[in-house]
Structure 1
Amino acid sequence: MIEKYSKQFIGGIWRDGSSDIVYEDVNPFNNEVIARFKLSNKEDINKAYVAAKHAQKIWAETPAEEKKKVLLRAAELFQERKDEFAQILVKETGSSFLKSMGEVLSIIEMIKDAATYSDRINTPVMVPSSTPGKENLIFHKPAGVVGIISPFNYPLFLSIRAVAPALAVGDAVVLKPDLQTQISGGFIISEVFEQAGLPKGVLNVLTCDMEEVGDYFVEHPIPSIISFTGSTAVGRHIGALCGKHLKKVALELGGNSPLVVLEDADLDQAVDAAVFGKFIHQGQICMITNRIFVHRKLYDEFVTRYVEKVEQLPYGDPMDQKVVIGPIINERQIQKILQYVELGKQEGHKLVLEGQRIGNVLTPFVFADVKNDSKLAQTEIFGPIAMIIPFDDEKEALELANETEYGLSGAVFTKDFERGIEFARQLESGMAHVNDQTVNSAPNTPFGGVKASGLGRYGGEWGFEEFTSVKWVSVQRERRNYPF
């Protein structure tokens, strides 16, 4: 099933990359090689961008109904093949079946929403003018060619959320998914859109070794927009490169998302949400619940219930649909997570649940009485380590929650909805949720962060703005009198 995805997709042609490097794509649970790829090099990147530039001119002029037809057909194909693609995600990413199926279903809705952009691109917005007889028209145009770099953790979702809106508005795309998840983050996407009737060259997918190609993918002169999802450190570098070359950039970066349980919260609801929000996909999500703040009135009972629930989470081979905790993506990440556990012990935090390593699976670790200014609490933990922190009042909770360089997502639990909304508004984050956990997304809402969590927004009208350029056209319908 998976072995057929072993080629790069450049200019509408499936072929080997031109690099001498052959990459082995492995199942992170058992290290089984599931596919081998001859990677792309700078020559292939150039060919992909040139093909995209040529195809984009034609695609931009394609009637809106035809663009919508392609996108909606792609959504249908994902629906028809959802079980197949969910299994690929399980096998290539180590995702649980629940997470994998949810990922496939979510991108179907995302593509359908993006399809509506095709109509909007030709519909001007009128704004008033203070000049007598003047009419102001605001047009959106395709930006041109978009370079997209997506990560390993939610590869299908995080690729499609940039690919779909870019295609819908008339852009062409060169997509570079993470090497570890290049099938689910790249090649099933190119296959589906090819079958949906997308013209050759409008979507190109390639993978390469960064030591071989360096910054060429970003610095190439053709793309006018770079969309990157990944670490803050790499995002800062890409942002600097885009600034240097005056390219528009969308960056969705790291997070250290707080979940706050106020004294009037429904404790059962808060515990359930905090477990899900921390341990979905083993914690390998940018907006995962990283720090859990609980009012002292509820603190001891919350910790007890939380640990009891976490201890019951089934772990192991994600091919078993009952499994919740599957493998970590690679050995380097496993070692990094275990180092964080040792750091937590050294800093004196209370380890109320000690996980274990079983093959490539790490079962959950839970630290209580964590100090918010500790190195552990201030680090984005991309793994199954929960941190619980007590607070005395709402003001302190807000200060602690905002005490981080990141600002991606947040959550607050209270029975007073208006209180919750006001608290959520004061969280320094691009997204915040009342009586829900931090891992949320909807195709018609703005997704993105503030501070070190990034720039720009995906989704809804905000995503439409990201992948278009804006032009003001004025019409003077009456003769204008000039001062000279």
Structure 2
Amino acid sequence: MNKSFIGGNWTEGNSEREYEILNPYDRSVITSVRLATREQLHEAFEIAKEAQREWATSTVEARREVLHKAADYLKENREEIVSILVRETGGTVLKSNVELHLALEFLEESIKYADEIYKVREVPGGGDKLNHIHRLPLGVIASISPFNFPLNLSMRTIAPAIALGNSVVHKPDIQVGLSGGSIIAKAFEHAGLPKGVLNVVLTDIEEIGDDMLTNRHSKLISFTGSSAVGRHIGGIAGQHLKRVALELGGNSPFVVLSDADVEQAVNAAIFGKFIHQGQICMIINRIIVHKDKYNQFVERFIERAKSLPYGDPGNPDTVIGPLVNETQLQKALAYIEQAKAEGATVALEGKRVGNVLTPFVFTDVANGSKLAQTELFAPIATIIKAETDEEAISLANDTDYGLSSAIFTNDLKQGEALALQIDSGMTHVNDQTVNDAPNIPFGGNKASGLGRFGNPWVVEEFTITKWVSIQTKDRQYPF
């Protein structure tokens, strides 16, 4: 499990460097990985290119059988996989079960559209010409996944790619190389996927630089992570005329209108702010509350936040576990100190307990402040007062990001109308911002990304559409 999976073989890295994968809760060593080199990455792409040619000719039945068997592997090894997710990501038992469930949903949904390639659609032509529109596999897909939901966010690219006749070179975040890479490789190895169709490279940027992005064989770069890195990837992809699927950062607003049910809004906000310690791109980052509901909301939210159980994520009762590493912890602590210096009110003072940061709540936060405009990725809540419902929507849009959002109101018709006014890829009425499903168009606007995952939108992203015209009789030309 601690080796790269290249060409169907578990392969020791050739780097002189080893990386220790740590348990975020107690910093104990889970395993040590010898990192793969630039040369091994290039080898993976060469193998993937050759394997894809044959995989592209596979039958629908063969692809579906592989996908079914991979899903069976995840189900049969559920307890062990959840345990690895808890220990490697620092996610709670609840979060880890949710993540495995989502990964399975994406895998099983991909079975439904494995027959989309090689479909032929006829478009009416003129005279003696037939127009056939073909859908073909794209080729080799370069996949890069993050540390927060590594199993799910890796599978979200890998399963559709394989279902649609593509091959994959995948680099998970090395911090979670088992959850984001090795488990998936094991599942598809168990399923009998032909060698080289999926290659998982355990390495880091120091070893490979931008070679995941520039390799001549990759036709699409699928990346989930920060907007800063996404811009870098987008720039390189543009130079090389490669497709991208970028799911980037967020600053999701949670809007509580003047007619909202405060108690239910608090219930939703507590979950949508503190699941996985706030380390989710869709997490609630700004809570915007109409002035008529503000004091009531703040009181109940703080009461709930300070009672959340924290500590060892292996304890099923734990809600707040550790942040993924010391760097993320120090970033969070710096955000807190800066917010205090800016004059935000500390309505709930959290604390660091080992590698766990308990909830902080800031009120009287200005929407233009550094605190409000930063993707925090930590259990830090910011609550902003709006004078009117109209101002609440305006504040929600006042950000460079546009991934997810939420509106609480008792007027569902008005809620949907206002949802369309928020410039984000997704808006949830009377729910929190962290929602995902394999059959919806998942993606963001503005600095939150390009492209959409989910069936059928991902089919368009991961395939080529080709027009073939057939002249049935000799054509007369004007010269």
Written as runs of structure 1 = structure 2, the 5 A alignment for 1:233-248 is 233-248=228-243
Q: 2:382 aligns with which of 367, 380, 387?
A: 387
Deviation at 1:276, TM superposition (A): 0.5
Deviation at 1:126, TM superposition (A): 3.2
The aligned residue for residue 12 of structure 1 is 8
Describe the SS at the equivalent of 2:323: coil
Unaligned segments of structure 1, at least 5 residues: none
Deviation at 1:337, TM superposition (A): 0.2
For the pair 1:268 / 2:263, whether they are aligned, the reply is yes
For the pair 1:329 / 2:324, whether they are aligned, the reply is yes
Unaligned segments of structure 2, at least 5 residues: none
The aligned residue for residue 109 of structure 1 is 105
Partners of 2:477 and 2:260 lie apart in 1 by: 65
Q: 2:93 aligns with which of 72, 97, 120?
A: 97
The aligned residue for residue 457 of structure 2 is 462
Q: Deviations over 1:385-422 (max 9, x none)?
A: 00111112222111100000001000101111111111
Q: 2:398 aligns with which of 403, 410, 422?
A: 403
CA contact (8 A) 2:36 2:207 kept: no
Partners of 1:126 and 1:389 lie apart in 2 by: 54
Q: 2:431 aligns with which of 405, 417, 436?
A: 436
Worse overlay, 153-162 or 133-142: 133-142
For the pair 1:29 / 2:25, whether they are aligned, the reply is yes
Deviation at 1:79, TM superposition (A): 1.4
Deviation at 1:136, TM superposition (A): 2.7
Deviation at 1:177, TM superposition (A): 0.1
Q: Deviations over 1:54-112 (max 9, x none)?
A: 11111110101100110011112111211211111000000000010011011111111
Q: What amino acid is aligned across from residue 41 of structure 1 in structure 2?
A: T
Q: What amino acid is aligned across from residue 38 of structure 1 in structure 2?
A: R
For the pair 1:216 / 2:211, whether they are aligned, the reply is yes
Describe the SS at the equivalent of 1:119: coil
Partners of 1:134 and 1:417 lie apart in 2 by: 51
Alpha carbon RMSD of aligned pairs, Å?
1.2
Identity among equivalent positions (%) equals 55
Written as runs of structure 1 = structure 2, the 5 A alignment for 1:442-457 is 442-457=437-452
For the pair 1:320 / 2:315, whether they are aligned, the reply is yes
Deviation at 1:481, TM superposition (A): 5.5
Q: What amino acid is aligned across from residue 396 of structure 2 in structure 1?
A: A
Q: What amino acid is aligned across from residue 269 of structure 1 in structure 2?
A: Q
Deviation at 1:133, TM superposition (A): 4.6
Deviation at 1:441, TM superposition (A): 0.5
CA contact (8 A) 1:132 1:478 kept: no
Describe the SS at the equivalent of 1:237: helix
Written as runs of structure 1 = structure 2, the 5 A alignment for 1:271-286 is 271-286=266-281
Q: What amino acid is aligned across from residue 70 of structure 1 in structure 2?
A: V
Distance 1:479 1:409, change over 3 A: same
For the pair 1:83 / 2:90, whether they are aligned, the reply is no
CA contact (8 A) 2:3 2:202 kept: no
Describe the SS at the equivalent of 1:217: helix
The aligned residue for residue 170 of structure 1 is 165
Q: What amino acid is aligned across from residue 425 of structure 2 in structure 1?
A: G
For the pair 1:124 / 2:159, whether they are aligned, the reply is no
Q: What amino acid is aligned across from residue 120 of structure 2 in structure 1?
A: P
Q: What amino acid is aligned across from residue 363 of structure 2 in structure 1?
A: A
Describe the SS at the equivalent of 1:470: strand
The aligned residue for residue 141 of structure 1 is 136
Partners of 2:205 and 2:143 lie apart in 1 by: 15
The aligned residue for residue 355 of structure 2 is 360
Q: What amino acid is aligned across from residue 320 of structure 1 in structure 2?
A: N
CA contact (8 A) 1:370 1:377 kept: yes
Deviation at 1:476, TM superposition (A): 4.0
For the pair 1:303 / 2:298, whether they are aligned, the reply is yes
Q: What amino acid is aligned across from residue 11 of structure 2 in structure 1?
A: R
Describe the SS at the equivalent of 2:401: coil
Q: 1:290 aligns with which of 282, 285, 288?
A: 285
Q: Deviations over 1:421-460 (max 9, x none)?
A: 1111111101111111100001011111111011111111
Partners of 2:129 and 2:362 lie apart in 1 by: 64
Worse overlay, 321-330 or 414-423: 414-423
Taking structure 1 as the reference length, the TM-score comes to: 0.97
Q: What amino acid is aligned across from residue 49 of structure 1 in structure 2?
A: F
Partners of 1:407 and 1:464 lie apart in 2 by: 23
Partners of 1:281 and 1:438 lie apart in 2 by: 14
Worse overlay, 316-325 or 470-479: 470-479
CA contact (8 A) 2:150 2:179 kept: yes
CA contact (8 A) 2:310 2:319 kept: yes
Partners of 2:419 and 2:91 lie apart in 1 by: 30
Partners of 1:78 and 1:14 lie apart in 2 by: 19
The aligned residue for residue 371 of structure 2 is 376
The aligned residue for residue 55 of structure 1 is 51
The aligned residue for residue 422 of structure 1 is 417
Distance 1:128 1:390, change over 3 A: farther
